[in-house]
Chains A and B, each alone.
Chain A
């Protein structure tokens, strides 16, 4: 049963992944990308990593893909014009894919060739029955790897500030609202309180 569900999710993930690149309409591409994320989340649940699966859905589907969809919907992109440089870029893409593949193969290869390293693989996560994986992740992330975790946060912060700085421009002639002056207006200038009898209306 588990095997069947695994192959279902895996096949759907690969198929929708392929549709992301081949769909003619960019919006459809993004929607297929969302489907891919969902199937990957399903695979995580099969692995017993429900926390990662939920974070996957919240972060990638709920936030990142929404932004993708925003951009793709707002821009007038046509898949055909996008594809014009396809053959030119293809070798670069192939090289990137090859490097990724080799790296993955190396990781798996080390586990196979050096059995003593295999112990490291399962070490950080305790058995599912002992501790839920949310607690397991928290226990390593905020203790052993707390500096790296903070560093990742700072990298994100820098990225955020950078993108705001790039897009921020001072415009002249904009009438801004000043909430403080509005909130500080005396009550008598703004509203008049009338006593209304219950069920009567004004």
Chain B
């Protein structure tokens, strides 16, 4: 019995506590990201934004959540009920499981696995399923077209994201996210890999279906896209999943290019601030870019989006992989074999 406790039950409890310690702040961050989005866009539009519910409208996310919670979930008659209800669950779950490998500070990670970056890449490539299942199961033309668009878009941009990740891996010499961050202690990769940093930011916008690449839910042509038929909690789960994915992609960007939890310069006043604060600050900065892009840019046309992905981003990122590999080899900068 004692063995059962030390070998199985205690580690299980520990893992559950760790997961909760990640999920609760994450959900809070998601709620306040929606608030921040409305406030930031309002400021850019010279409006006030939500300011009625609570001080400065701070309770607005709670009110929205409550509203969605008490609404009725409608399943269309022609829908395939199991797949229809599974789709939002898949989206939301995938947005959360990616956080298992994100190191927010030195050693602050649920699972510090060897292939962390591949795991994240796998999780983000699975994100398509929630959307394509929703599109199909809704049994609606708008939803189906939205789902197909989204799937094609995510598959296209994933290819260039893969190559961008490869350049970082070549420089860091590890698939472990913590190692990648530690490899940046001298120089953040956004400086030597600046073109890839820009490409990654744009691809991340496309990957999370955000403006200017929000074609799956282009309301002028597709109503609500894949979530046309969803209401109440099922819609809320898509919504939360989308925002959690935004934060996940921002953290990935911070880990790959902005030095994760590392301070900008490793001298006294900067090193006093804990790593998790640096991480949060950097993620917020990247998220601000997302909101800024949404307030500023018009939506891409579909053929332009595909052209950008396949004819511009793919050759550029592939070329950069070759340049990086050759440069590392010629100058002997290859990371030592672990």
Q: A66-B151, A69-B132, A70-B151 are in contact. Are A134 and B125 (CB under 8 A)?
A: no
Q: Chain B residues near A199: list those with CB within 8 A.
A: 46
CA distance A134 to B115 in the complex (A): 8
Q: How far is the CB of B8 from chain A (nearest CB, A)?
A: 7
- Contacts of A32-57 to chain B: CB distance below 8 A: 34, 50-51, 54-55, 57
Interface of A is mostly: helix
Q: How large is the interface on A (under 10, 10 to 19, 20 to 34, 35 or more residues)?
A: 20 to 34
A58 within 8 A of B: yes
Q: Mark B147-171, 1 if CB is under 8 A from A, else 0.
A: 0100100010010000000000000
Q: Chain B residues near A125: list those with CB within 8 A.
A: none
Contact B129 A34 (CB under 8 A): yes
B72 within 8 A of A: no
B307 within 8 A of A: yes
CA distance A74 to B135 in the complex (A): 12
Contact B115 A58 (CB under 8 A): no
Q: Chain B residues near A177: list those with CB within 8 A.
A: 303-304, 307
CA distance A69 to B129 in the complex (A): 9
For B117, the closest partner residue in chain A by CB is: A54
Q: How far is the CB of A44 from chain B (nearest CB, A)?
A: 11
B74 within 8 A of A: no
A80 within 8 A of B: no
CA distance A57 to B129 in the complex (A): 13
Q: How far is the CB of B211 from chain A (nearest CB, A)?
A: 20
CA distance A58 to B307 in the complex (A): 24
Q: How large is the interface on B (under 10, 10 to 19, 20 to 34, 35 or more residues)?
A: 20 to 34
A61 within 8 A of B: yes
Q: A63-B125, A66-B132 are in contact. Are A179 and B114 (CB under 8 A)?
A: no
A27 within 8 A of B: yes
Q: Mark B25-51, 1 if CB is under 8 A from A, else 0.
A: 000000000000000000000100000
Contact B115 A51 (CB under 8 A): yes
B71 within 8 A of A: no
Q: A66-B132, A135-B338 are in contact. Are A54 and B115 (CB under 8 A)?
A: yes
CA distance A1 to B158 in the complex (A): 36
Contact B121 A58 (CB under 8 A): yes
- Contacts of B111-133 to chain A: CB distance below 8 A: 113-115, 118-119, 121-122, 125-126, 128-129, 132-133
Interface of B is mostly: helix
Q: A55-B118, A132-B114 are in contact. Are A31 and B128 (CB under 8 A)?
A: no
Q: Chain A residues near B80: list those with CB within 8 A.
A: 25, 27
For A69, the closest partner residue in chain B by CB is: B132
For A27, the closest partner residue in chain B by CB is: B136
CA distance A135 to B119 in the complex (A): 16
B175 within 8 A of A: yes
Contact B129 A1 (CB under 8 A): no
Q: Chain A residues near B303: list those with CB within 8 A.
A: 177
A97 within 8 A of B: no
CA distance A38 to B114 in the complex (A): 19
Contact B337 A58 (CB under 8 A): no
Q: How far is the CB of A40 from chain B (nearest CB, A)?
A: 14
For B304, the closest partner residue in chain A by CB is: A177
Most buried by A among B83, B126, B307: B126
CA distance A39 to B224 in the complex (A): 34
For B8, the closest partner residue in chain A by CB is: A1
Instruction: List, sorted by A's number, 18 A–B pairs whose CB atoms are closer than 8 Å.
Output: A31-B83, A34-B129, A51-B115, A57-B122, A61-B126, A66-B129, A66-B132, A66-B151, A66-B155, A70-B148, A73-B144, A74-B148, A134-B114, A135-B338, A177-B304, A179-B307, A199-B46, A200-B46
Using CB atoms and an 8 Å cutoff, list the residues of chain B in contact with chain A. 8, 46, 80, 83, 113-115, 118-119, 121-122, 125-126, 128-129, 132-133, 136, 144, 148, 151, 155, 158, 175, 303-304, 307, 337-338
Using CB atoms and an 8 Å cutoff, list the residues of chain A in contact with chain B. 1, 25, 27-28, 31, 34, 50-51, 54-55, 57-58, 61-63, 66, 69-70, 73-74, 132, 134-135, 177, 179, 199-201
